[in-house]
Amino acid sequence: MNWIWFHKLGSPKWFFQWANKWSKFAFFIGVLLLTIGVVWGLGFAPADYQQGNSFRIIYIHVPTAILAQSCYLGLGVAGIVSLVWRMKMAPVFIKAVAPLGAVMALIALISGAIWGKPTWGAWWVWDARLTSVLILFLLYMGVIAIQNSLDDMQLADKAVAVISVVGLINLPIIKYSVEWWNTLHQPATFTITAKPAMPMEMWLPLLLSTLGMYGFIAGVAMWRMQAEVLVREHRANWVKKEVLDNGI
Amino acid sequence: MTYSSFFYSEILAVFRRKQDVVNALVFFLLVITLFPLGVSPSKEFLQPAAGGIIWCAVALAVLMSVEGMFKEDFNDGSLEQLVVSGLYLPILVLLKLLVQWVSVIIPLLVLTPILSQMLFINWEILWVLVLTLLIGSPALFLIGTIGAALTVSLRRGAVLMLLIILPFYLPVIIFSTGAIAAAQVGQPYNGQLAILAAISLITLTLSPIMAAVSIKASVN
Amino acid sequence: MAFESLNEFLSMGTHGPFVWSVYGISLVLLFGCYFSSMKAKKDQIKRLKQRYLREQKS
C-alpha cells in the first residue's frame, strides 16, 4: 500500500492547502445529505407501528451517537500517531475534534432524553446506551479540560494524546461493563430499545443523515484544524505567503 | 542510584509522611459516613448498598492519595533526577506505586471489618469485599498514576485529575460491586473477580509506560 | 408524504413537541459548531494579516 498520502497529511503546509480545497466540498455535501436525510425521515418515512412519530428523533439521535464514537476513535488513533510518530498534525486533530465530539455526544444525550419521555415515560432511564454516551461525554470533557488547563503547549499535546490513547483502550471495557451492569439492573420492560429490523424506507434516510453528519463534521473539523495550524505555524514563510497573497 | 536504593528511599519517605496516609483514610471514613447521614441509616438501605458505598469511597480515597504522589518530587526536582538517572522510568513508577499501594491498602483492609459492621455486611460477604479490594484496587492506583503524572505541573491539578480519571474507574467499580451483589444473593462471583484481575493486569502493563511518558513531558 | 396535512405534520401525532424540540436544539448546536469554527479560522487569518503588515512596515 502507498503511504505517501499519510505522510503528506503530517505536514501542516500540505494539509492546509489540501483542506482549502476539500473542506467546503465535504461541508456542503454533508449539509446536503443531512438535509435530504432529515426531510425524508421527518416527512416521508412511515411512522413506527410501536412508537408512532416520536421515532423520527432517530434521524438526529443515531447519527450524532455514531459520530460521537467515531470522533473518539479518531482521537485515540491520533493519540497513538502523536505519541509514536510525533506527527505535527495529530495534536492539532485532537484539539480540533474533541469539542466537536463533545457536542455530538451532547446532542445524542439531549435527543435520547427527549425521546425517552414519550417512549419510556421518563426523561432519563439508566439504559446501557444512554449511560455509555453519558460516559463518553464525560471523557470528552476530560480531554477538553486538560487541553485548556495546561498552558505549556507541548505538555498539553502530550497529555491529551495520553488521555486519548488510554480512553481508546478503555472505551470497549467501559462499554462492555455498562452493558453488563445494565442487564443486571434493568427490568425487562425496557427492551423496546432493542432495535427491530428496520424497513428500507426508514433505514435509507438514516444512512443518508449519518453520512451527511460525517461530511458536516469533516468540513467543520478541517476549518478548526486550519485555524490551529495558523496559530502554531505563524512564523513559517508559507503561512505568511498564504495569508498575504491569497487574502483569504 | 539503583532500583533497590530507590525502593528503600520510597519506603522511608512513606514512613516520614505518615500524615498523607492518615488523610486518605480519614477521607475514606468521612465519605462512608455521608451515606447513612445523607440517605438513610436503616439496615434495609445500607445492607444492599454497602458494597457500592465502600467502593465509591475507596475510589475517591485512592485518587486523593495518588494525586500527591509526584508533587513533592516534582517541586524539589528529584523527579527530574529520576528521568535522567538512566534507570528505566516505568519500573521506577511501578516501585513507587507498589509502596504507595501497600501503605494505603493495608490500613484500608484493617479498617474494612469495622466499617462493614457499621454498614451491616455479613462476615461471608466481607471476605468477598476484601477479595475485590485486593484484586481491584491495583487498577485504581495504576490508572490514577497517569492522571497524577499529567497534572503534576499544575498548582491545582486535583480537580482536573478527578475529572479525567474518574470515568476510567467505572468498570472497576461496576465489577467489584457486581461481585459483592452476586455474593449477597448467593450467586457465583468468580467471573467478576476474573474480569477485575484482567483489568488490573491490563493496566499493569500499560499505565507505567503511559505515566512515564507523561512524567517526561511534565518535567521538560 | 407520510402526513395528510401540514397541521398533522407539525403535530406529529401527539409527539410534535418532542420531535420538534430535538430538531430545534440540534439545529442550534450544529449551527454553533459551524459558526464558531468558521469564525475561528477567519479571525486567525485577520489577526495574522494585521501582524504581517505591521512587520512589513517596520
Q: Does a structural domain hold residue C49?
A: yes
pLDDT score, position A102: 95
Q: Which helix (H) or strand (E) holds B181?
A: helix B158-184
Collapsing DSSP to helix, strand or coil, A93 comes out as: helix
Average pLDDT of the residues in C38-53: 88
Q: Taking all residues of chain C, what is their mean pLDDT, rounded to a whole number?
A: 84
pLDDT score, position A186: 54
Which residues span the domain enclosing C58? 25-58
Which A positions 66-95 lie with beta carbon below 8 A of chain C?
Answer: none
Contact yes or no, B with C (3+ CB pairs under 8 Å): no
Q: Does a structural domain hold residue C9?
A: no
pLDDT score, position B139: 94
Average pLDDT of the residues in A188-199: 52
A106, A110, A223 member nearest C37 (Cβ): A223
Bridge partner residues of A52 (DSSP): A48
Interface contact C18-A114, CB threshold 8 A? yes
DSSP A85: T
Indicate whether A189 pLDDT > 50. no
Say which residue the cell 481491584 belongs to. B136
Q: Taking all residues of chain A, what is their mean pLDDT, rounded to a whole number?
A: 85
- What angle is formed at CA B77 by the lines to CA B103 and CA A165, rounded to 5 degrees? 70
Distance (Å, whole) CA A26 – CA A31: 9
How far off is chain C from A75, nearest CA to CA, in Å? 18
Q: Does a structural domain hold residue C5?
A: no
Q: H/E/C letters for each residue in A125-171?
A: CCCHHHHHHHHHHHHHHHHHHHHHHCCCHHHHHHHHHHHHHHHHHHH
pLDDT score, position A221: 94
pLDDT score, position A185: 62
Share of residues in chain C with pLDDT > 90 (%): 26
Q: Which of A69, A61, A209 is nearest to C23 (CA)?
A: A61
Average pLDDT of the residues in C7-15: 71
pLDDT score, position B121: 87
Interface contact A231-C44, CB threshold 8 A? yes
- Pick C8 or C55 by higher pLDDT: C55
Q: Is A165 on the interface with C (CB under 8 A)?
A: no
Q: What are phi and psi of A52, to 5 degrees?
A: 65, -140
pLDDT score, position A188: 43
Interface contact A166-B199, CB threshold 8 A? no
With CA atoms as reference, the chain C residue closest to A119 would be: C15
pLDDT in tens, B139-194: 999 999 999 999 988 887 888 999 999 999 999 999 999 999 889 888 888 888 99
Q: Provide the domain count of chain B.
A: 1
pLDDT in tens, A158-184: 999 999 999 998 888 888 888 888 776
Indicate whether A75 pLDDT > 70. yes
Q: Which residues of B touch A162 (CB under 8 A)?
A: 146, 150, 210, 213-214
Distance (Å, whole) CA A226 – CA A246: 15
- Pick A189 or B188 by higher pLDDT: B188
Interface contact A173-B220, CB threshold 8 A? no
DSSP assignment of B52-69, as one string?
A: HHHHHHHHHHHHHHHHTT
Indicate whether A191 pLDDT > 60. no
pLDDT in tens, A213-241: 999 999 999 999 999 998 888 888 888 88
The grid coordinates of residue B107 equal: 490500613
How far off is chain B from A60, nearest CA to CA, in Å? 26
DSSP A189: G
Burial, A193: exposed, middle or buried (Cβ in 10 Å; 0-12, 13-18, 19+)? middle
pLDDT in tens, A10-33: 788 888 888 888 889 999 999 999
Say which residue the cell 436525510 belongs to. A37
* Encoded amino acid at B125, one letter: I
Q: Does a structural domain hold residue C7?
A: no
With CA atoms as reference, the chain A residue closest to C13 would be: A53
Which residues span the domain enclosing B144? 3-219
Say which residue the cell 528521568 belongs to. B83
Distance (Å, whole) CA A35 – CA B188: 52
Q: Provide the domain count of chain C.
A: 1
Sites in chain B below the pLDDT cut of 70? none
Indicate whether A144 pLDDT > 70. yes
How far off is chain B from A86, nearest CA to CA, in Å? 13
